[in-house]
Every structure is written in structure tokens, then in C-alpha cells.
Amino acid sequence: MSGILYLVAIPIGNYDDITLRALTVLKSVDVVVCEERSEGLRLLRHYGIDQQVEMLNEHNELAAASIMLDLLNEGKSIALISDAGTPVFSDPGRLLVEKAIRQKIKLVPVPGASSLLPALIVSGFPIKEFVFAGFLSPKRERRLTELRDLRKEQRTIVLMDTPYRLVQLLRDMADVYGETRRVCVAFDLTLPTEEIYHSTAPRLYQQFLKEEKKGEFVIVLEGK
């Protein structure tokens, strides 16, 4: 009988946001699979959990997925986590999930902290329907094209990117949308440095450029 693959959401910054169920699963599985060993071990040590840790990330996903499937087929149970938040969502792991589905291995999602919904609910924009555009291209010309393609979108739009690209992304949004769209930046959610900004891209670009802010963020853009 095969083991169970748990997809476990962990805090996005504030360790108090872990769920009791997530802790139970992390303590009970045979292996915890994370993106970076140091991050995974730091998380487990914080909660006093001593577990075998393996890595699955963008550099070894194919090989690691095969190893994890072998363990699952041996009856081992595995908890897949990301560096922060919900695994697979904008993080490696989808290949492992797809292979597990094909092999009829039981999947159990363990929900928890997320940056997506908190950013949406503080944006003040309609969220009955929204579009998750995710991470745009790191190349500016391609990123500008992607932003232009979103100009006709009437639903609220959610964007993410790496901490060091916040100012560049706001600059490009200012070029494409100007003062015509409202923007919400949810900065360092759940952390003591958490701040929520409501303005337009040009104004936020100037503010973040001046303050040299860098940190985790979610941008919510008003639809057309």
C-alpha cells in the first residue's frame, strides 16, 4: 500500500500562523520535502520537530520527484512544503503531484497561510472574480508586453514577484497604466514590518524608489 503525499501550507512570515493540523502532519510523516534544506530545517527546529529532510526545487525537480515517488510506493508518507506559504502554488512540486495522481497515490492538501487572499481582501477592489497573473517576465520588454496585455482585463488582477523587483515592476506599471488604475501593495504580510499601500503605480513607484523598500509583496491591480 502506497504512502500519502501531504501538501502542507506553512507560514508566509509569522511563525504563529502555522496550523495545529500542519504541525501534526509534519511530526507524523516519514520525510519532509522542502525547497531549500536550510529553510526547511529552520522551520522544523522552530517547532521542535526532528524529521528527515529532503530537497525538491527547480534545479532537481525531475530527479527528486522520482525519488519521492519511490518512497511513496514503499509506503512512506511525505509532507511537501515550500519556503513560505502554500506548496506548488508558484513553487516547484507540480511534477511530483502530477506523477502521484497518475500512480493513484493519495494526496492530502493541508491548507494554511497564504499571501494571495489577505492581499485581495485589503485591496478594496471587487474580488468576486479575480485573475492571478502571477510572476511576470524578469525581462523588461516582455514584462511591459504582459502588462499591456492585461489592460483590457476587467477583473481585479494579482501580481507577484521577487523582493528585489518591486520598484522595477511599479515603474513598468506606471508606464503602462499611469494614473488610470488604483493599485494596492501588500508589503511584508504577517511580519512586524507589514504595510498596506493604496494609491496609483506612479505615486507608489516614486515612494518605493525614494524609501528603497525591499521585501515580500503582493500587488493587486484594479481591473478596467
Name the DSSP letter for residue 99. H
Rounded Cα distance between 169 and 150, Å, is 14
- Fold (topology level) of 116-221: 3.30.950
Mean pLDDT of the chain: 94
Q: Please give the single-letter amino acid code of residue 114.
A: S
Contact 216, 163 (CB under 8 A): yes
In total, the chain counts a number of residues equal to 224
Domain 4-110 coded CATH 3.40.1010.10: yes
Average pLDDT rounded to a whole number, residues 190-212: 94
For residue range 103-134, list pLDDT tens digits in order.
999 999 999 999 999 999 999 999 999 999 98
Percent of the chain whose pLDDT exceeds 70: 100
Q: pTM for the full model?
A: 0.89
In the chain, which segments carry CATH 3.40.1010.10?
Answer: 4-110
Please, which residues have CB within 8 angstroms of residue 6's CB and are 6 or more apart in sequence?
25, 29, 77, 78, 79, 80, 108, 109, 110
In the chain, which segments carry CATH 3.30.950.10?
Answer: 116-221
For residue range 134-193, list pLDDT tens digits in order.
899 999 999 999 999 999 999 999 999 998 899 999 999 999 999 999 999 999 999 999
For residue range 75-85, list pLDDT tens digits in order.
999 999 999 99
